[in-house]
Structure 1
């Protein structure tokens, strides 16, 4: 015996989701830096030192005199010799005036005129401190002028692009019920 049968078959509904993924793009350009600096300026001012050496006295001690000094000395010496000669002539004249007094003035004068003294000088050693030295040291002034750097910075903003994600929802399978009768 066959019984009637009811056969029920149900199918669940299925939802399908497709997602377009979000896209995010970040880009940052480097900052632009400009640095300029003029070179430092150096100024040096120098007054030269002076050295003065005066060896006139040392040369005179060695009898290496200038023509002007020698002329002055010869003029003084000549005047002195003329005065000595005038004195000698006067003295001899006085002796001859008194010839009546006992003595031999002419013979004495002849003997004196034959007497000569010769002075021979080989030169002298310069005296100590006869060379005069004077020194003025140099003066140096150094000036620096430092120029500050000129720094320019340009910051670039980041580039941000964003595309949001989008879900697509659909029915992958609709729900259904199948009913079947069998007799």
Structure 2
């Protein structure tokens, strides 16, 4: 006996995927660097040193006197000599005026006038010690420095970022099918 048979034919569905990869680009431009360093402000104040050397006394000891000093010394010496001479003559006149009191004023005055004074023999150092006067006032230096701040005008550039997203396309390459047959 023939039994009818059922025949089933099925085809699976086939799916195809088309993918497009994403594209990403990142670019970092260099920074714009602008740095400036102003010069420091520097101020220097100086006081000059002062050296004073007074050789007037040493020159006078060597008989190298200035004309004004020599004139003053001669004037002083002349005045003193005139005063001494006037005083001596007045004293001699008084002695002669009182001749009656005794003694021999004429011969004693002649002895004093005719005798030259003894000069002393001694060693004299020329110029004398301490005749050169030295005075020194030291100078000074005052330095002031004011540093200046750095001027920073640098600019950072943002990165350039481009992104293209990827795509996925789904397509059916083969449709599903189902065939049913009866065989007798």
TM (normalized to structure 2)? Answer: 0.69
Equivalent residue for 2:128, pick from 108, 121, 126: 126
2-structure distance, mates of 1:63, 1:118: 23
Q: Which residue of 1 aligns with 2:39?
A: 39
| 1:92 positional shift | 6.0
Residue deviations 1:101-149, cap 9 Å, x none?
9877766555544422242565356355x54443333233323233222
Contact 1:37/1:150 (<8 A) preserved? yes
CA 1:91–1:43: 2 relative to 1, 3 Å = closer
| 1:93 positional shift | 6.4
Contact 1:23/1:165 (<8 A) preserved? yes
2-structure distance, mates of 1:95, 1:35: 108
Secondary structure of residue in 2 paired with 1:71? helix
| 1:53 positional shift | 2.9
Q: Which residue of 1 aligns with 2:169?
A: 168
Matching of residue 66 in structure 1 with residue 68 in structure 2: no
| 1:43 positional shift | 1.3
Q: How does 1:1-183 map to 2 (within 5 A)?
A: 7-60=7-60, 62-64=61-63, 66-67=65-66, 68-86=68-86, 111-119=111-119, 123-124=124-125, 126=128, 130-177=131-178
Residue deviations 1:142-175, cap 9 Å, x none?
2323322221132322222222222222222222
Query: Bigger shift: 17-26 or 155-164?
Result: 155-164
CA 1:81–1:43: 2 relative to 1, 3 Å = same
Secondary structure of residue in 1 paired with 2:34? strand
The gaps in structure 2 that reach 5 residues or longer are none
Q: How many residues align?
A: 181
Contact 1:63/1:123 (<8 A) preserved? no
